[in-house]
Chain A
């Protein structure tokens, strides 16, 4: 009975982890390559200034991207501690 319990928890652990990882990986890769893509294909777009200022769109988005990268790592650790860690603890107890 116990062995079966921990197999189930393990499967749940793998599923939970994938559910958290996929969206975050997708956001990471797509946001970065969109940024690089604009630089490669349409650099003028990033050079455009935000109306009424001397700040360009590229610089503003660059700062947002730095912020986003931090938020991705923060989100993952928050979710991992909340949802993954209890499952791991449970398996560790049963092995």
Chain B
């Protein structure tokens, strides 16, 4: 019962702050947001009674169905950044938005065809379980945790800063309170409700977001009697760049960047810890497969909607003085295109709904990220490295909760520290790290017999260090943030180089590894492969 009080205790202060803020009130949004938070806190209360074990905490007991998991996965992917960011990019330059949409989508067949089933068959709570199935626990877990935590932290910073700014504009809340509210709510969802609450928050939000985006797109197309040609013609004549918005613009300028960005997007998805973690919430490989099809369908549909929304904003928002400031730019910034469009086609009610959904999206996504981070700390580092697998349920559970709360507080601090920074590159870097470190070690541990601990650790860490270095020395950080004249590393997207180093390092140092331990590791491959293919011996879902 005290949990319920605690949860409601979080609700009311946030209400208070929300209702006492700023003149430019958006009551509809506040009401809908409060409804969402209230409902999700009730779910958290319900889930908290079913989240007493470590397996309950990290996998929701393994009883999520394929459809539910598909929705939850698509919820993880349909972040505020991709909803507002991609529709904003489409609004700004048309076609280029499609490059990102397709890039984010192409990772899904890769996950399905190569990763999903073996992952479910071999792992328990985190992808490190799979990699350390036959390799040495300690070094592998440390490496996997480094990869996971850096991916999660970067993603988290990007979401928190985006959240603060968005809420500042939508609800008129001060940046600091916005970031704090997001952090506090996220901590309570995850600490009390674990994966079960996080999954349901994600599912509800995914449904709301798909619904909201469908409504906007419907209203937009309705204005053109669903004649796509007329719709695009109107966009071309409304946009400064004219017909150029129908063609690739400046996003990709040379072949190396094209391949490099392509690789990061294609394989990065298959290395994102918060996505991989979702495959442990379903009972078996059959449901794991199903969840990817649902997820791909929802995400693909959603990206088509964001594309229509971006173009819709070109037609209906870009020439409407109500949404522009004195310099003729969108109020807020380009990422507000979808929000303004919702007002343009659906008035205050739709604006309120979409604003509330955008906030809900951020909450759900940061919760999933935090949970993945917490599992790297408590399951990989604490239970399997620090205690060498000798930990008991109670202790691991306690550490999980402490890790969650610490990560939540850290996220709030990072959100505040990075307020004035341009964080757009961080999601890109997170994908690059995931593609460079997490994906290769996971992929090779499943499919390559000769992989050894030495190879994985040397190759994986070399790639990890290189990818971070190349981003810092590249145009995005070295020039745009440190204000140097010229980048030391010429390319914006490092994945091509860093992935090559990882794969080469792993290959070379595995093959030259003649130690006794490595022989045993190679021998174990047959057993592992049998289990990964047939699912015999997998972690069963719990019954409560």
Contacts and interface: CB of A to CB of B under 8 A. Distances in A.
Contact of B255 (A41, A63, A81): A41
B534 interface: yes
Given A40-B254, A54-B233, A59-B98, A73 B293 contact: yes
A78 B243 CA distance: 41
Interface string A16-49: 0100010011001100110111011101101101
A72 B109 CA distance: 7
B102 A49 contact: no
B109 A39 contact: no
Nearest to B262: A36
Contacts of A43: 247-248
Interface stretch (B27-35, B195-203, B297-305, B366-374): B297-305
Chain A contact residues, majority secondary structure: helix
Nearest to A31: B106
A24 B297 CA distance: 17
Contacts, number: 140
Interface stretch (B4-12, B284-292, B355-363): B284-292
A85 B286 contact: yes
B108 interface: yes
Nearest to A53: B229
Interface residues of B, number: 47
Contacts of B17: none
Interface in B397-421: none
B293 A65 contact: no
Nearest to B236: A54
A66 B246 contact: no
Contacts of B465: none
A14 B259 CA distance: 31
Interface string B272-314: 0000000000000010011011001100100110000000000
B534 A10 contact: yes
A70 B262 contact: no
A1 interface: no
B534 A92 contact: yes
Instruction: Among B102, B110, B244, B254, find the residue whose CB has the most chain A CB atoms closer than 10 A.
Output: B102
B97 to A, nearest CB: 10
A36 B258 contact: yes
Interface string B92-107: 0001001101100110
Contacts of B229: 53-55
Contacts of B243: 47, 49, 54
B247 A70 contact: no
A74 B535 CA distance: 21
A66 B304 contact: yes
A14 B529 CA distance: 10
A58 B98 contact: yes
A35 B290 contact: no
Contact of A58 (B246, B258, B292, B536): B246
A14 B532 CA distance: 11
Interface in A58-84: 58-59, 62-63, 65-67, 69-70, 72-74, 76-77, 80-81
A59 B300 contact: no
A73 B108 contact: yes
A65 B108 CA distance: 13
A69 B109 contact: yes
Given A49-B243, A55-B232, A72-B109, A92 B252 contact: no
B469 interface: no
Contacts of A81: 286, 289
B105 A40 contact: no
11 contacts: A17-B533, A25-B113, A40-B258, A47-B243, A47-B246, A54-B243, A54-B246, A59-B232, A62-B102, A69-B300, A73-B297
- Per CB-CB distance, the 3 closest pairs between chain A and chain B, nearest first, are A47-B247, A40-B258, A56-B246
Interface of B: 95, 98-99, 101-102, 105-106, 108-110, 112-114, 228-229, 232-233, 236, 243-244, 246-248, 252, 254-255, 257-259, 261-262, 266, 286, 289-290, 292-293, 296-297, 300, 303-304, 530, 533-536
Given A40-B252, A70-B293, A85-B286, 8 more contacts: A25-B114, A36-B99, A36-B252, A46-B95, A58-B248, A69-B102, A69-B296, A72-B109
Interface of A: 10, 13-14, 17, 21, 24-25, 28-29, 32-33, 35-37, 39-41, 43-44, 46-47, 49, 53-56, 58-59, 62-63, 65-67, 69-70, 72-74, 76-77, 80-81, 85, 88, 91-92, 95
